């Protein structure tokens, strides 16, 4: 009931959005930008209550659209959550079940058989570009043309790194543009990524076509390097905090440059912008969960609750807020709905259309919010949320914690012992959901944990 009351006031305000969309105006072909920060926690911005970190451009974005206070990544680590955004499918279902940072040739990557929203929009006549981190192949696979790169997943143009900017955010040397190494760049990662995206918008794309962009910043993921003009905004902080807080502001600056470009090109009013993060923060580097339990890798709230903002002037009412739970997989289904494209029917899609939530309505899910993070602490390896309730399980699915996260967002009060009926229901839901997901995904990838040559699993490589 609380969810409905908080956002019910939006319903009448948003009637123009839906009536215009149905009349077949310019909203039939809106431009789309999905921006993903890296390791940015729920408490790492002034937008979400941080009293020190300056994020004026994210603040502005939220004031121009809707801010979700219970937005989630689909996993507590980078690669799986990113695969879920692109496919609308939870990570173990789409095959990117693990963190893809190593040089080993372990058989995990975003398969060519997965259907991504950039591919569907490309087929519908959109110009598409990816800018920044990719992280859906291991280092070994990123150098191997047999494996699917961004262009295989629907991007006409791409400027990316396999994982982090190397050696750090300053003067990175590992960017690749459309399959060709770029070499050393001068500057800092987020502004460099924004500059490339802006260059594409200004001079490389076909201006007669609608565009779709993914902008996946590296900041504030470690190893952190921050331009002094941003770190010096925090003169009273420790060296660690100066670097981290300034790094978030560095990313926010890059966000602002992209938003200015939309204004200068006159396309802002017909461009949907989504901003989120791939997972929670790392507190030892300076990250902030906003008081939530856990960190990156956890399936407690601190590892998976992230900033989640949507802006579309004239169609999403400005300065609104929703506490309806939403997740990265929902981006896929929502974008297809906005673009009037069909959701694939030959596979399970876990995400749902968020437009009803923007109207102030409850979302109807046939598949609950689910997390399984392979590198999480053993006690918080798997989780499911249903309504206000969340169950957290260990790696063996034999030990469980139960929380009402609507009233206890910090997960301080385990109710497993005092609510046996609710615990029984949530255990059943968790196990049923996991069995469904693992049966559809390439389960041999995580069950066998193959360490040898890729040829042993050759029929699944692509």
The catalytic residue positions are 78, 135
Give the side-chain half-sphere CA count within 13 A for 256: 13
What are the Cα distances from residue 215, in Å, to 14, 129, 276? Answer: 28, 8, 11
Cα–chain-centroid distance for residue 329?
8
Give the side-chain half-sphere CA count within 13 A for 222: 10
Strands 71-72 and 320-322, sheet pairing: unpaired
Question: Residue 313 gets which letter from DSSP?
Answer: T
Write the burial class of residue 190 (CB in 10 Å: 0-12 exposed, 13-18 middle, 19+ buried).
buried
Strands 180-181 and 176-177, sheet pairing: antiparallel
Kindly state the tokens that stand for 93. 């279902």
Nearest-CA neighbor of 132 among 196, 187, 77?
196
Nearest-CA neighbor of 179 among 144, 223, 214, 230?
144
What are the Cα distances from residue 261, in Å, to 23, 92, 123, 271, 313? Answer: 28, 37, 26, 12, 15
What are the Cα distances from residue 23, in Å, to 16, 26, 32, 449? Answer: 11, 9, 20, 52
Asked if 52 and 245 count as a contact pair (C-beta separation under 8 A), the reply is yes
């Amino acid at each position: 009931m609380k969810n409905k009351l908080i956002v019910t006031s939006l319903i009448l305000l948003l009637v123009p959005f839906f009536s215009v969309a149905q009349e077949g105006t310019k909203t039939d072909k809106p431009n789309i930008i999905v921006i993903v920060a890296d390791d940015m926690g729920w408490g790492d911005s002034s937008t979400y209550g941080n009293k020190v970190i300056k994020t004026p451009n994210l603040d502005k974005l939220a004031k121009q659209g809707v801010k979700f206070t219970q937005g989630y990544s689909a996993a507590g680590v980078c690669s799986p959550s990113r695969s879920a955004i692109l496919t609308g499918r939870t990570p173990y279902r789409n095959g990117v079940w693990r963190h893809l940072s190593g040089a080993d040739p372990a058989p995990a990557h975003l398969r060519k058989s997965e259907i991504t929203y950039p591919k569907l929009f490309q087929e519908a006549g959109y110009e598409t570009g990816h800018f920044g981190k990719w992280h859906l192949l291991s280092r070994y696979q990123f150098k191997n043309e047999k494996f699917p790169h961004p262009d295989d997943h629907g991007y006409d143009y791409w400027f990316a790194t396999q994982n982090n900017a190397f050696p750090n955010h300053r003067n990175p040397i590992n960017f690749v543009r459309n399959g060709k190494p770029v070499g050393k760049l001068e500057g800092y990662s987020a502004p460099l990524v924004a500059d490339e995206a802006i260059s594409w918008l200004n001079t490389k794309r076909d201006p007669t076509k609608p565009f779709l962009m993914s902008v996946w910043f590296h900041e504030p993921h470690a190893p952190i390097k921050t331009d002094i003009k941003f770190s010096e905004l925090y003169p009273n902080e420790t060296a660690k905090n100066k670097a981290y807080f300034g790094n978030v502001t560095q990313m926010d600056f890059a966000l602002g440059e992209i938003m200015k470009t939309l204004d200068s090109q006159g396309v802002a009013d017909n461009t949907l912008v989504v901003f989120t993060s791939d997972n929670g923060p790392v507190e030892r580097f300076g990250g902030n969960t906003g008081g939530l339990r856990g960190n990156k890798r956890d399936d407690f709230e601190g590892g998976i609750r992230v900033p989640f903002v949507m802006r579309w002037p004239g169609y999403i009412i400005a300065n609104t807020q929703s506490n309806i739970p939403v997740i990265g997989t929902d981006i896929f289904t929502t974008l297809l709905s906005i673009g009037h494209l069909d959701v694939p029917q030959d596979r399970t899609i876990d995400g749902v259309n968020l437009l009803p939530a923007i109207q102030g309505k409850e979302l109807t899910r046939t598949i609950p919010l689910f997390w399984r993070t392979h590198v999480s602490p053993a006690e918080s390896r798997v989780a499911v949320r249903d309504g206000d309730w969340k169950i957290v399980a260990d790696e063996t699915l034999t030990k469980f914690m139960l929380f009402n996260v609507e009233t206890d967002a910090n997960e301080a009060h385990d109710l497993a012992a005092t609510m046996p009926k609710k615990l029984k229901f949530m255990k059943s839901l968790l196990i049923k959901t996991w069995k469904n997901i693992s049966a559809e995904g390439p389960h041999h990838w995580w069950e066998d944990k193959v360490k040898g040559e890729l040829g042993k699993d050759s029929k699944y490589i692509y």
